[in-house]
Amino acid sequence: MLTNDELAKWDRDSFMHPSTHLAQHARGEAPGKIIQTAEGCHITDRDGNRMLDAFAGLYCVNIGYGRQEVAEAIADQARELAYYHAYVGHGTEASVTLAHMVMERAPAHMSKVYFGLGGSDANETNIKLVWYYNNIRGLPQKKKIISRWRGYHGSGLMSGSLTGLTLFHQKFDLPLDTVLHTTSPYYYRRDDLSLSEEQFTAKCAADLEEMIEREGADTIAAFIAEPMLGTGGIVPPPAGYWQAIEPILRKHDILLIADEVVTGFGRLGSMFGSPHYGITPDIMTIAKGLTSAYAPLSGSILSDKVWTVLEQGTDENGPIGHGWTYSAHPIGAAAGVANLKLLDSLNLVQNAGEVGPYLTAQMAETLGDHAHVGEVRGEGMLTAVELVRDRDSRTFFDAADKITPQVVAAMGRRGVVARAMPQGDIIGYAPPLCLSRDEADTVVQVTADAIKEVLG
């Protein structure tokens, strides 16, 4: 076995990591952890440090780590048939079964699922299908996509453009000019502090409608949004938000793409976030919880309305010119089938709906009065603690102070992994859906101790 020093050297010398300060990492100033094993909600590194992973990797290990049923399903699939493609109507028992299981769980107006590999490529697929859809309908001008500031939709060329976080744009020449960003539904960070939540919702809706009218509805194809903001800050929508937004889209013949990469498969205490908030999307993006990240797999779930036009398109033009070698990969599909069975048999969606709100409530009770805690918020098994310099005037810390990275590092020394969200001083929590109340108590206590260490 390699020593830790050998591994660290190979890592610095050879490995370009995603979303990493490359220079600091290569100089050895910011070593990451090398994780070796994991079980339930806990991960263990090569030095034997066991940590409660309160972010489930990257909010993806919904069923928890170390589930042997999924490992066996993957191994069985690899032994029987590691790969065959899905082009020209081909499939495997695993991919057809998973498609069936996804559609059993999807809202009734959805029709088919296309499988990709990750959330970013699924959103690339979605936008291509939306463009194809409007071309087939004879509306070639209707191509722009509206996303939201602080939305996160991936980091490809189009998906990174849809993302509304500056880190993912700067120096990459993004966003592409077919993408527009509208107001972020983030009540705590509203510009005008005098607005009530209802007034703020009305402003989000008015801003959207104004953008549509300014650009011309005949140029706008789709609106993409996470049912609840994730990477942009873990922010439940303000009261009445979706009820105000969806009719505007319908009125202007604009498709709604619900990016359910985080909210799908139980995270909000419901199977999907769209029905949770009363939304009827035309396309849904799924990934993460589809396999609980035991193998890479994503999907684009298409409504009857979209599917009918795609069928018409192939009748007129021949096979659809879109596909990846690894679309519907049998190993990902086998992992997905085993994962969805466990999600049901262990009642994990229900647990997320019970223990998640308990975590948020305990966090609010323990930290709500702290002078530097501006807001504690959450929905289902998603919680955020937003830190501020001053609560009363709602002034924020400078990013250069790195307050949240310091708090998260202090939590790590106490054995709990949380995420310093990329924009703003926001501590994010998205534990596996099997989190227990005792584990939630540990997360809260460690957060309180770490905030005390850094901010007093």
Binding site for ligand PLP (CB under 6 A): 58, 118-120, 123, 152-154, 226, 230-231, 259, 261-262, 287
Nearer to ligand PLP, 121 or 375 (CB): 121
Least Å from the CB of residue 189 to ligand PLP: 19
**51 contacts: CB under 8 Å, gap ≥ 6:** 42, 43, 44, 45, 412, 415, 416, 417
Nearer to ligand PLP, 120 or 383 (CB): 120
Nearer to ligand PLP, 158 or 434 (CB): 158
Least Å from the CB of residue 163 to ligand PLP: 8
Distance of CA 315 to the CA centre of its chain: 35
The β-bridge relationship of strands 373-379 and 382-387 is antiparallel
Nearer to ligand PLP, 263 or 404 (CB): 263
Beta strands in 251-407 (DSSP E): 255-259, 283-286, 298-303, 373-379, 382-387
**304 contacts: CB under 8 Å, gap ≥ 6:** 109, 110, 111
Nearer to ligand PLP, 235 or 261 (CB): 261
Pick from 58, 438, 414: nearest CA to 231: 58
d(CA 262, CA 250): 25
The 3-state DSSP class for residue 316 equals: helix
Nearer to ligand PLP, 120 or 184 (CB): 120
**Cβ neighbour number for residue 72 with a 10 Å cutoff:** 12
Tell me which amino acid residue 222 is. A
d(CA 193, CA 171): 32
Tell me which amino acid residue 356 is. G
- Is there a contact between 252 and 217 (Cβ–Cβ < 8 Å)? yes
Nearer to ligand PLP, 209 or 226 (CB): 226
Helix (H) or strand (E) holding 426: strand 426-429
d(CA 349, CA 117): 23
Tokens of 11: 């890592």
Nearer to ligand PLP, 330 or 428 (CB): 428
Least Å from the CB of residue 260 to ligand PLP: 7
Least Å from the CB of residue 253 to ligand PLP: 25
Tokens of 283: 């396309």
The 3-state DSSP class for residue 354 equals: helix
Nearer to ligand PLP, 119 or 336 (CB): 119
Nearer to ligand PLP, 418 or 454 (CB): 418
**78 contacts: CB under 8 Å, gap ≥ 6:** 331
Q: Residue with CB nearest ligand PLP?
A: 119
- In eight-state DSSP terms, residue 236 is P
d(CA 3, CA 305): 57
Nearer to ligand PLP, 209 or 259 (CB): 259
- Is there a contact between 373 and 367 (Cβ–Cβ < 8 Å)? yes
Least Å from the CB of residue 262 to ligand PLP: 5
**Backbone conformation region of residue 426, classed left if phi is above 0, alpha if psi is from -120 to 50, else beta:** beta
Least Å from the CB of residue 300 to ligand PLP: 12
